[in-house]
Amino acid sequence: DMGLALNLGGISLLNVEQMYQADRLAVNAGIPSINLMENACAAVAAEIRTRWSPRRTLVLCGPGNNGGDGLGVATLLREARWPVEVALFGSSDAFTGDAAIMAQRWVGPLVDFDADQLNDVVLVVDALFGAGLQRPIEGRARAMLEGAVERELEILAVDIPSGVHGDTGEILGFAAASSVTVTFFRPKPGHMLLPGRDFSGQLVLSDIGIPVAVLDEIDPKQWVNGPNLWSAFWPRP
The residue ranges of every structural domain in the chain are 6-232
Q: What is the pLDDT of residues 165-201, one digit of tens each?
A: 999 999 999 999 999 999 999 999 999 999 999 999 9
Letter string b/e over residues 196-232, b meaning 16 or more CB atoms within 10 A of that residue's CB: beebbbebbbbebebeeebbeebeeebbbeeebeeee
Q: Would you state the pLDDT for residue 165?
A: 98
Provide the pairing of β-strand 180-184 with 123-127: unpaired
pLDDT tens-digit map of 19-46:
999 999 999 999 999 999 999 999 999 9
pLDDT of residue 237: 59
Q: How many angstroms separate the CA atoms of 141 and 176, rounded?
A: 11
pLDDT at 221 over 50: yes
Question: From CA 213, how far away is CA 22, in angstroms rounded?
Answer: 10
* 163 vs 1, more confident: 163
What is the per-residue pLDDT for 2?
44
Q: Please write down the HEC assignment for all residues of 94-134.
A: HCCHHHHHHHHHCCCCEECCCHHHHCCCCEEEEECCCCCCC
pLDDT band at 101 (very low <50, low <70, confident <90, very high): very high
CATH number given to 6-232 = 3.40.50.10260
Residue-wise pLDDT tens digits, 105-146? 999 999 999 999 999 999 999 999 999 999 999 999 999 999
Task: Reply yes or no on whether the pLDDT at 226 is more than 90.
Answer: no
Residue 40's pLDDT is what? 98
The rounded mean pLDDT for the chain is 94
Q: How confident is the model at residue 234 (pLDDT cuts 50, 70, 90)?
A: low
In this structure, the chain runs to a length of: 237
